[in-house]
Amino acid sequence: MTHPRVSGVGLTRFGEHSERTGRDLFAEAGLAALDDSGVDPDDVEALFYGNFMGELAEHQGHQAPLMAEAVGLDVPATRFEAACASSGAAVREAVKHLRSGEADVILVGGSERMTNIGTAGATDALSIAADDLYEIRAGMTFPGAYALMARAYFREYGGTREDLAHVAVKNHDHAMPNEHAQLRKEITVEDALEAPMVAEPLGLYDACPITDGASAAVLTSAEYAEEHDLDASVAITGTGQGSDRMALQDRDHLLKSPAASKAADEAYADAGVGPADVDVAEVHDCFTIAEVLAVESLGLYEDGEGIIAAREGETHATGEMPVNLSGGLKAKGHPVGATGVAQIISLTEVLDGESPWSDDVADARVGVAHNAGGTVASATVHVMEVME
């Protein structure tokens, strides 16, 4: 079995673009990816596109054909929706199509427009990724849900708000040289601890921002990349997906993410690697506690040990297990439908030696991307490797 290659990438700046439409944002990212790849647009055989709240934020469903039109493609176009894991799911399907031989070139990406509906509107739109009957109607929001998860973690394993503050400080530091990041602002542990409380124990700096943006990548079969002499040394060698019960009260644990663990196990087995082989990771840190849960779900840390990883400097670019060199959702930003592919882009740049942090991770050969939906009722995991 040959592994699909990442042959080109494109990304908008993440941040506030309330004056632009989703199709405008995706056109920028998609055309940039095609240009970066060197692939003839006529060779693209499909568009797989992630988006979550288009109906609410832009009163626009059925977005995939619009996005194909925006980048000048006349190909079958499919929208994937898995809450915040929407474009992660799109990547997984693209990988499966390329492996099967059904296609040789697929444009995969996603976009989200959120700031135009304001904080209250975006919070309401995001909430529909939770269980409407048993969570939303009771007033549950995602800051509240992740606060419950953080408190459960603290009770079981220990940990403090200061430990979470180190996660935020680390990811803001990583975002500083990222020209596409939304929050290129250094913060201190004191800044994080003194910020307004959102949902105890989570404060303002424990949460990712509301973000507009788009991402895109051209994935090709290894055979196509070789035949067309493409500069495509990074491959997606493993893919996995998992699900969990939607409502928190129906789960066996609040402090674990079985969907992510199942996705990781599948992706590792698919790639023929294990957690010990991973050199760098991009994980879904919509809240600081989410990064802690993610690194444990991926097997990078034992249960209860992820909480001190940032404090000890282990997950910094200069540490033993760099996590979220892009700045993560926390500082890079989180345009929901674009996040999964943005993670793939970040790891491609790291493994290709084109990241601002490449000198610190020069020996990285294996990366893992973890994209989660809601309170991790959905999760995708992808293993990426440098091919000789």
Name the residues annotated as catalytic.
84, 334
Closest CA to 266 of 294, 292, 298: 298
User: Which residues, 6 or more positions from 221, have their beta carbon under 8 angstroms from its beta carbon?
Assistant: 2, 4, 5, 98, 101, 103, 104, 105
Return the structure tokens found at 23.
Answer: 């199709």
Strands (E), 89-159: 105-112
**Inter-axis angle of helices 258-271 and 288-297, nearest 10:** 50
| Spacing of C-alpha 253 from chain mean position | 23
**How far is Cα 110 from Cα 334, in angstroms, rounded to an integer?**
12
Return the structure tokens found at 240.
Answer: 């996995």
Q: Compute CA distances 171 → 166, 209, 344, whole Å.
A: 9, 13, 17
Please, what is the Cα angle at 345 between 340 and 346, to 5 degrees?
100
Q: How many CB atoms lie within 10 A of CB 319?
A: 16
Are 326 and 174 spatial neighbours (Cβ–Cβ below 8 Å)?
yes
Closest CA to 334 of 324, 322, 349, 319: 324
